[in-house]
């Protein structure tokens, strides 16, 4: 199942869900909220003037997917993870990748 989810999120040659939704920009820019952003929506530690190669963007995206998967595994029960189809898990991971994990008890993310 993990392979199927990764194919949905990353795809090949720019066909993945995250790249299609986020787009790739190798040079840092301000997102609509005014936050410095690079690659496929990566914001952690980004400053205007930063530049990332395609390989660096790929690694940041995979890192973000791994982080999102860790949040999903920590907060979704085993029965749920087993019952949910790969496309739905990919949607959850894309959401977590996009808005962040959030904080327990607050309506600001997945948790």
Domain ranges in the chain? 2-23+53-99
pTM for the complete prediction?
0.79
**pLDDT, tens digit, for every residue of 51-82?**
999 999 989 988 988 898 899 889 889 898 88
**Catalytic annotation present for 21:** no
Residue 103 Ramachandran class (φ > 0 left, ψ -120 to 50 alpha, else beta): beta
Which of the four pLDDT bands, split at 50, 70 and 90, describes residue 89? confident
Catalytic residue among 31, 50, 67, 98: 31
Told to judge if 22 belongs to the known catalytic residues of this protein, a careful annotator would answer: yes
CB 24 within 8 A of CB 41: no
Of 21, 22, 59, 78, catalytic: 22
Q: Is the pLDDT of residue 14 over 80?
A: no
């Amino acid at each position: 199942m993990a392979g199927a989810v990764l194919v949905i999120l990353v795809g090949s040659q720019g066909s993945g869900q995250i790249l299609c939704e986020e787009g790739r920009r190798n040079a840092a820019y301000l997102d609509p909220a005014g936050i410095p952003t690079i690659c496929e929506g990566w914001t952690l530690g980004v400053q205007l003037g930063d530049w990332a190669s395609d390989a660096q963007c790929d690694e940041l995206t995979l890192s973000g997917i791994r982080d999102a998967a860790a949040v999903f595994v920590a907060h979704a029960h085993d029965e749920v993870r087993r019952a949910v189809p790969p496309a739905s898990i990919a949607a959850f991971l894309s959401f977590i990748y996009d808005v962040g994990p959030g904080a327990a008890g607050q309506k600001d993310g997945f948790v």
